[in-house]
A and B are shown apart, each in its own frame.
Chain A
Amino acid sequence: MSNKAFAAVAFVVALALAVASQLITNEYFFTAGYTVLLFVILATAWNILGGYTGYVNFGSAAFFAIGAYTTVALYNAFKAPLAVMIVSGTLVAGLAGLGLGYLTLRLRGVFFAIASLALAVVLYVFVVNWDFVGGARGAYILQPREVPFGMPRYIHLIYSVQLLMAALALVVARATERSTLGRGLAAIRDDELAAECSGVPTLRLKIFSAMMSCALMGMAGTTFPYYLSYVEPSSAFSLSYAVNSIAMPLIGGMMSWIGPLIGAVLLGTVQQLVQVTVSSAWNLLIVGALLVLFVTLAPNGIMGWVEARRRRKEH
């Protein structure tokens, strides 16, 4: 399927799901769905740099927080419309990703991972000391009473927006994977020196993939302040976003766009269900056990395992 056809299908499916889900009266569906979709975007975004390029970014929470705090800043400045906040948050996070790429992508392996974590700490300190966005005290974002498109509650709107954004993230990830850019990134992942010697502009491609990955992470964060109504640094920069955005592609498979989607839907849904059925302590244990299970039995994730089985059958 061509990229254009895939994009059309993805957006039509997302739109159809958004419309169909308006018939559901149970609001829990929307809050749980919002969280799972948030992780779909984060995992897909992380995979562009981490999976396609092989550069592990531990700073996902920072870019997510950039999106969230751009929304807070625009809300405090002039109560900007949601669409403006989404576009702005995406752009600001993309620019921050460009900066991260330019400053750190000459580093490799664990050194890059540590640098990305350091960036998250720097941004955290910056936000804590920026009073305009609430600083250490946090900021309140009030959901508008009037919800557009005749939707009954604001969570219906941000869930639908999140669906469309998840579709966009998947379209971008798939298009990247199947483009010249994607092949260049795969070459970097397999052997950066060989790629460089073969004429692949490695630094430029890495910076571009960092920018795209971080922009999508920022996009995921833009609706978050409206979801919670209260944002403060420790929740926006929560390590759980960084951990989940790495764990989900690991479980689903990092080699293709569909892996993070499968991982996020699987792990996100399990987390949501376990939280309200068993307990949160079990929740963490289950995530840990799943990670150990996949790392040992299916190191290339679900998609890698499926692919390996298919190859074995062919031979």
Chain B
Amino acid sequence: MPGRSFPPVLGRALGALAIAFGLTCAALAQQPLKIGFGMSLTGPLAGNGKAALIAMEIWRDDVNAKGGILGRNVEFVYYDDQTSPATVPGIYTKLLDVDKVDLVVSGYGTNVIAPAMPIMMQRNLTFMTLFGLNVNSKFKYDRYFQIMPAGPDPAIGWSQGFFEVAMSLNPKPRTVAIVGADAEYPAMALEGARAHIKRLGLKVVYDKTYPPNTVDYSPIVRAIQATNPEIVFVASYPPDSAGIVRAANEVGLKTRIFGGGLVGPQFAALKTQLGPLLNGVVNYEFYAPDLGKKFPFLDQFLAKYQARAAKEGVDPLGFYLPPYAYAMMQVLEQAIKATGGLDQAKLAEHIHESEFDTFVGKVRFAANGEWASSRVMMTQYSGISGNDVEQFKKPGHITVLYPSEYKTGSVKAPYHENRK
């Protein structure tokens, strides 16, 4: 009706409503963005879990220093999974139903990723995971993503570099020995190695596994030596990696190339424990100080990480897991910013379609959520003297042999002549 104004009471009520709405919106914008996860802070993988947590906290602090994500400060809600799969369903249901977190990411490793998968699938959540081994091969969940650079087929990608390096030797090797522990990761790595051996037409002279609690590795190395292989591929967890490398030195293993899938030398604890015994070993790494120029932002991260790690008593180098834990969060951050919200379908779609610029380089995901291509670096240790950790922070002791775009040198063979 022309000329007729709102009654004053109604006007005031609408005004109050508008102010209340504005305040509510402002309050919502100020609410922290809660990210929940379980992490191994006790139990056998606590060392790795704590290192990953430090990296994630550095990311959180970096993000919050820049004003947060979508104007919201990032807050973590996390519980110790005790490296026990049985605790995982309880932790994630608590995070989602009681703590009401906005997003969840995984803890460290296959054992704690897999039990969370049904919960993610039932709720259609986008799930960024940290160092799982081909977990999605059975679940085939289209919102699963994994940050370890093992490629779309981790079993194959893991040992690809080792066999490429081995076959670059002149004359080409013809015989191979493979050995590993009776455990989850070694079984996968050996399966991949067998596929490469078949593809390359190599003759297998030794293919055996040993119980994970083996103490003396000399008989195993002697048995391998008796078959006189030109290539020795080992897939082992840290305690056995130390045992096998020591045994190879004690027995005086003679072969052209030795190593491949030893877990442990990536960490400062084993690097310093073994020291010069590592010389000549060809093994996988995810980062080497020689590559500093290729990863310009990683130095800043490692400086922050190493300062905190020294105080908290975890891996003082942080070359293996922490940069990838940080990168996992960067992927999530970039996806949230690009999609402008927390819509799980949009986040997953964006992560599938995009390439992410992270501290560990450009990351693109395959359809199964693994890296689109493997970037497991094959390296060779050399010139290590003594057991000082500082030498490993400097370039010159870890030569990258594979892949070609990161190559910093050529393989030195045979192994026994480069052991010193």
Contact = CB atoms under 8 A, between A and B. Distances in A.
Contact of B94 (A28, A137, A227, A238): A28
Given A28-B90, A28-B93, A232-B184, A275 B79 contact: yes
A276 B93 contact: no
A272 interface: yes
Nearest to B87: A275
Contacts of B110: 138, 230
B115 A279 contact: no
B291 interface: no
A155 B123 CA distance: 13
A232 B111 CA distance: 8
B262 interface: no
A31 interface: yes
B79 A129 contact: no
Contacts of A138: 110-111, 114, 184
A129 B182 contact: yes
Contacts, number: 113
A264 B96 CA distance: 26
B211 A35 contact: no
**Interface range for B:** 35 or more
Interface in A44-93: none
Interface in B129-150: 135, 138-139
Contacts of B98: 26, 28
A306 to B, nearest CB: 31
Contacts of B89: 31, 34, 155, 227-228
Contact of A228 (B115, B181, B211): B115
B182 A136 contact: yes
Nearest to B180: A136
B300 interface: no
Nearest to A281: B42
Nearest to B98: A28
Contacts of A235: 84-86, 111
A31 B97 CA distance: 11
A211 B21 CA distance: 67
12 contacts: A26-B98, A138-B184, A228-B115, A229-B118, A229-B139, A230-B115, A272-B90, A275-B87, A275-B91, A276-B91, A276-B94, A280-B41
Interface in A28-48: 28, 30-32, 34-35
Contacts of B91: 275-276
A234 B139 CA distance: 22
A106 interface: no
Contacts of A31: 89-90, 93-94
B211 A140 contact: no
- The 7 A-B pairs with the shortest beta carbon distances in the complex, nearest first, are A230-B114, A280-B80, A140-B138, A28-B93, A27-B93, A137-B187, A31-B90
Contacts of B117: 229-230
Contacts of A3: none
Interface in A191-242: 227-230, 232, 234-235, 238, 240
A153 B111 CA distance: 22
B384 interface: no
A129 B117 CA distance: 26
Interface in A2-31: 25-28, 30-31
Interface of A: 25-28, 30-32, 34-35, 125, 128-129, 135-138, 140, 142-143, 153-155, 227-230, 232, 234-235, 238, 240, 272, 275-276, 279-281, 283-284
B124 to A, nearest CB: 12
A238 B86 contact: yes
B183 interface: yes
Contacts of B96: 27
A137 B135 CA distance: 11
A157 to B, nearest CB: 12
Contact of A230 (B81, B111, B122, B182): B111
Contact of A32 (B90, B118, B138): B90
Nearest to A131: B187
Contact of A240 (B41, B84, B187): B84
B259 interface: no
A142 B117 CA distance: 10
With most chain A CB atoms within 10 A of its CB, the pick from B89, B115, B139 is B89
B277 to A, nearest CB: 27
A182 to B, nearest CB: 32
A38 to B, nearest CB: 9
Contacts of B229: none
A238 B84 contact: yes
A153 B122 contact: yes
A129 B210 CA distance: 10
A275 B90 contact: yes
A230 B93 CA distance: 17
B80 A230 contact: no
Contacts of B187: 135-137
Contacts of B257: none
Given A230-B110, A276-B90, 19 more contacts: A27-B119, A31-B90, A31-B94, A35-B90, A129-B182, A135-B182, A136-B183, A136-B209, A155-B89, A227-B86, A227-B89, A230-B115, A232-B111, A235-B86, A238-B86, A272-B90, A275-B91, A280-B82, A281-B42
B118 A154 contact: yes
Nearest to A228: B115
A136 B184 contact: yes
Nearest to B133: A137
Given A32-B90, A235-B85, A275 B139 contact: no
